[in-house]
Amino acid sequence: MKILHTSDWHIGRSLYGRKRSAEFEGFFDWLIETVRSEEIDVLLVAGDIFDTSTPSNQAQAMYYHFLCRVAATCCRHVVIIAGNHDSPSLLNAPQGLLRALNVHVVGSVTESPADEIVLLRDAHGRPQLIVCAVPYLRDRDIRRAEAGETIEDKDRKLVAGIRDHYRKVAEAALALASAQSGAGEKIPILAMGHLFTSGGHTAQGDGVRELYVGSLGQVAADLFPDCFDYLALGHLHAAQRVMGSELRRYSGAPLPMSFGEAGHTKIVLLLTVDGQGGEILVEEKPVPCFQRLATVAGDWETIRSRIAALHGEAVPIWLEVLYQGDELVADLQERVRELTADTLLEVLRIKDLRLAASALKSLEQEETLDDLEVGDVFGRCLLAHQVPPGQQDELIALFQETVAALHDEERDDAIAGDGA
């Protein structure tokens, strides 16, 4: 039996306003071809299918179109869990219809742990694999708030709640395996999850959010029951092992979610399960690069020479330019645009780190928030983020309208309070 583990697709994600539909389509085409060429039996998707809880119609169309395509391949089962970016109700809505295609979706915690267990059968109807499809566990699903509890109390309850949930699911899976196994047979038990385990690493700008305030990185590897033959995790965008284990893995995101991930090798994980002893072998399958990203950083001469070298490669590249020189370059954007004009290089972001650092240093060393008006703070933000002068007037006007609206609401609330 062959199983493919992937996660964190983030369909619909953009990069500094640039749509990435072509990359997603390229990945799905490659994934379908991989399913066929590797003769995959089961596809596991460990959360964050979409980038937001309200995905666009185009993002949803990509998702459903892919599921229809994979159903027409040799892949007999697809198991999908929700991540923290996903809407549980959106994923759960077509559960009944997708089940007809052997697509099993668990978008939220169920009343009974047994309902998060999927028994998969082979082509002859024999039990072949048990999947504990545990979705992202939200705070309200696993912890009851109490008056007067401290942050430490909350952290402890969260971790205990996660541990208890996996324990209950594991017990139900073992009971099912015992009931379904024949004499001398062993049905492998795989578990899925979407969370942050201790020791995990992230990349700058990858968008990985803290799942549980205060307990980030404190979900230890020993939280998971030993009965799991393999643990397929999602949430971290860099492919990695949990505490060095070959059988407890993050597949990582198949596309770089930020320029900070540009140098990462993106993969999916191919599991081959021995039909006799149940031994699992794991192989990393590199995902092709569908859109090259590059960060160019340094002083002006370094930036100029690096851009020239990238232009010489004659391939489409999206660029992030970070100026780190000591000399003030007032026309940085114009210089970069001139260098990349009529080339295959597309600049998505230009940031003068010297200017931003200077603005922040001034704020930190010479002034405090008590010294500034609200509008002054907003002006410093525009400066720190190097917003072009042509855009600043409109943004300032919108900001002033927002502040005025807030003041109006406060005034109305005060009047209503006096009236009461």
**DSSP reduced 3-state for 135:** coil
- Length of the chain equals 420
Chosen CATH of 2-286 out of 3.10.150.10, 3.60.21.10, 3.10.290.10, 3.90.1150.10: 3.60.21.10
**DSSP reduced 3-state for 76:** coil
Query: With contact defined as beta carbons under 8 Å apart, do 95 and 67 qualify?
Result: no
Per-residue pLDDT tens digits of the chain, which is 420 residues long: 999 999 999 999 999 989 999 999 999 999 999 999 999 999 999 999 999 999 999 999 999 999 999 999 999 999 999 999 999 999 999 999 999 999 999 999 998 999 999 999 988 888 999 999 999 998 888 877 777 777 777 777 888 889 999 999 999 999 999 888 765 678 999 999 999 887 666 666 555 655 544 444 467 778 899 999 999 999 999 999 998 899 999 999 999 999 988 888 999 999 999 876 678 999 999 999 999 999 999 999 999 999 999 999 999 999 999 999 888 788 899 999 999 999 999 999 999 887 655 555 554 445 555 556 777 788 778 877 767 777 777 788 778 778 776 765 555 555 555 555
At the second CATH level, the architecture of 292-367 is 2-Layer Sandwich (3.30)
How far, in Å, CA of 402 to CA of 405, rounded? Answer: 5
How far, in Å, CA of 23 to CA of 257, rounded? Answer: 11
Query: With contact defined as beta carbons under 8 Å apart, do 280 and 272 qualify?
Result: yes
How far, in Å, CA of 136 to CA of 131, rounded? Answer: 15
Domain boundaries, the chain: 2-286, 292-367
373 membership: H or E segment, kind and range = none
